[in-house]
Structure 1
Amino acid sequence: MITPLRDKILGRALLFLLMAITIIPFVSLFVTALHPPGTYPAGISWPETPRWDNFLTAFQSANMLELLWSSALIELGVVPIAVLIATLAGFALGHLRPRGGNAVFIVFILGLTLPFEGIVVPLYYQMRDIGLLNTRWAIILPLIGLFMPFAIMWMRAHFVNMPHDLSEAARVDGATTWQLFWRIHVPLSAPALSSLAILLFLWTWNQFLLAIVLVDDPANRTMAGALGAFQGQWGTDIPLLCAGSLLILTPTLLIFLIFQRHFVSALLQGSLKG
């Protein structure tokens, strides 16, 4: 029989192990990025003279300011539109429950099984035929569609658990469907909306495959997609490559650290309602 003290110790040991597994790769990248350019560090070893200027060199060599602007434009094109469409569809399927809504939801569930790799070639020819190849729209439009199955499922799961008493009371007061959605349900959905926006932001920022296949110009790609061009230039310079990778990862880490409370709040809200 496991005593409470032993259970507590085992829990903390497991938590420490998982934390170490998560942190060690970032520590390895950081330490390697501080070695002199052109060297091949063996293992995780702190350099005698840390080269902090590697980050500045990587920032300038990869034109990070231009890439940040491109990624910001892609994020603004994907995240707000995807969240809006998913919220409207989730409200309709989860709260209004129209006739045939379950069949429509099953179609979206099937969309979760569609891998990016399986449709990238058809997408290439489709973007080429409509004249959007090598533009940011070639990334924005496919990502909105590919994110829809998960985003709609996420918002539907939220609206299904919303109490119908609120809607009935609002209907008695003369509220229309749009007023019911915008003035009552959307304010109460802030945790679900913010957590969905965080996920879509991270997935868009880290999108690599569509960016390198559908866009030739690295300046029009996402930050992660531009890493391919950076790797081609500095592939043999491991410290600079690690420095560039950390610079690309930093915005996503900051976003998650800033909004992690909203994300955890949405997960806890769902568990309590479920």
Structure 2
Amino acid sequence: MIVSTRERWLGRVLLVVLMLITIAPFISLFVTALHPPGTYPAGLSWPEDPHWGNFAEAFQSAQMGKLLTSSLLIELGVVPIALLIGTMAGFALGHLRPPGGKVIFLVFLLGLTLPFEGIIVPLYYQVRDLGLLNTRWAIILPLIALFMPFAVFWMRAHFINMPEDMSEAARIDGATTWQLFWRIHVPLSMPALSSLAILMFLWTWNQFLLAVVLVDDPTQRTMAGALGAFQGQWGTDIPLLCAGSLLILTPTLILFLVFQRQFVTALLQGSVKG
């Protein structure tokens, strides 16, 4: 297919426009965060005397050190477990194809339509009855369950395209189902696994609703959940609030920039049937 010069330049212009629309809010946050504390900046005006200390003050005021530790603990509790269970279930439904697998998969698909807001009230009472309210487990366990539909859907889409000949050859050589999964299919699934891990990391890091409803102590929440308490304390100080928001966003931006190639590779791999 031959692309004309006009179409090529039009595509580039559209990409530049979309990029500017995407980064404009971050530029606005950054410029606003440099204004004197307690002021109300207008537009994108650069301050005459940038207050870089706003970032240090926001870090200390929001107890970012404790929040970072709490978020990492929650990430370690959610991502590896959800990744392992989702991968095993996706392998079973996509490659082993047990009896009734299609029905089970439809149940997982129904789970994709389940919004967090629709279950937050019964989830609150269930977590309270289990004695987990106001602990990190109140965030970790529900997130593992809520991530399962997408994790299974993602990994099944990968494993269903894996060639059967490779598994048959491994079976002839005496490989068990576990060896087939762990030694052959998992190493070949690293692009899909890494991109799924990135998605779950970002979703966990940015989880706000569950953290606010199920945990009262801001230092036991995720970074995004703690932003609610920070906003309540510094809601009238716009520059300080913007500085705190940027500090919370920075780790996710760095993670995506570092692993963007693996993420795009997995998306392209899922679009081509092998």
Note the residue ranges of structure 1 that are not aligned, 5 or more in a row. none
Q: Distance in 2 between matches of 1:177 and 1:130?
A: 36
Output one character per residue of 1:194-213: Cα deviation in whole Å (capped at 9) or x when no partner: 00000000000000000000
Corresponding position of 1:266:
266
Return the alpha-carbon distance in structure 2 between the equivalents of residues 3 and 16 of structure 1.
Answer: 19
Matched residues in 2 for 1:130 and 1:183: separation? 38
Classify the secondary structure of the residue corresponding to 2:259. helix
The structural deviation recorded for 1:118 is 0.5
Aligned residue in 1 for 2:35: 35
Of 71-80 and 259-268, more deviation after overlay is shown by 259-268
SS state at 1:70 partner: helix
Q: What corresponds to 1:81 in structure 2? A: 81
Normalised by the length of structure 2, the TM-score is 0.98
Letter in 1 for 2:69: W
Pairing of 1:142-157 with structure 2 (within 5 A): 142-157=142-157
Q: Quick check: 81-90 or 256-265, which moved more? A: 256-265
Letter in 2 for 1:182: W
Task: Please give the secondary structure, in 2, of the residue aligned with 1:105.
Answer: helix
Partner of 1:59: 59
Structure 1 position 14 matched with structure 2 position 23: no
Give me the whole-angstrom Cα distance separating, in 2, the residues matched to 1:3 and 1:104: 45
Distance 1:256 1:134 in 2: 30
Deviation, 1:16, is 0.6
Letter in 2 for 1:228: G
| Offset, 1:261 | 1.0
Percent identity between the aligned chains? 81
- The match for 1:239 is 239
Distance 2:243 2:273 in 1: 43
Quick one: structure 1 residues 3 and 195, their matched pair in 2 at CA, closer, same or farther if it must change by over 3 Å? closer
**Secondary structure in structure 2 of the residue aligned to 1:28:** helix
Give matches, 1:93-242, under 5 Å: 93-242=93-242
Matches of 2:9 and 2:130, distance apart in 1: 60
Give yes or no for the alignment of 1:251 onto 2:245: no
Superposed CA deviations along residues 79-121 of structure 1, whole A, max 9, x for unmatched, are 0000000000000000000000000000000000000001011
Report the Cα offset of residue 272 of structure 1: 2.4
Distance 1:129 1:181 in 2: 38
In structure 1, distance between residues paired with 2:223 and 2:154: 26
TM-score (norm. length: structure 1): 0.98
Letter in 1 for 2:240: L
**Deviation of the 1:273 alpha carbon:** 2.3
Whole-Å separation in 2 of the counterparts to 1:54 and 1:39: 12
Shift of 1:9: 1.2
CA distance in structure 1 between the aligned counterparts of 2:266 and 2:9, rounded to whole angstroms: 29
The one-letter code matched in structure 2 to 1:138 is A
- How many residues of Structure 1 are paired with residues of Structure 2 in the alignment? 273
Give the superposed CA RMSD: 1.0
Unaligned runs of 5+ in 2: none
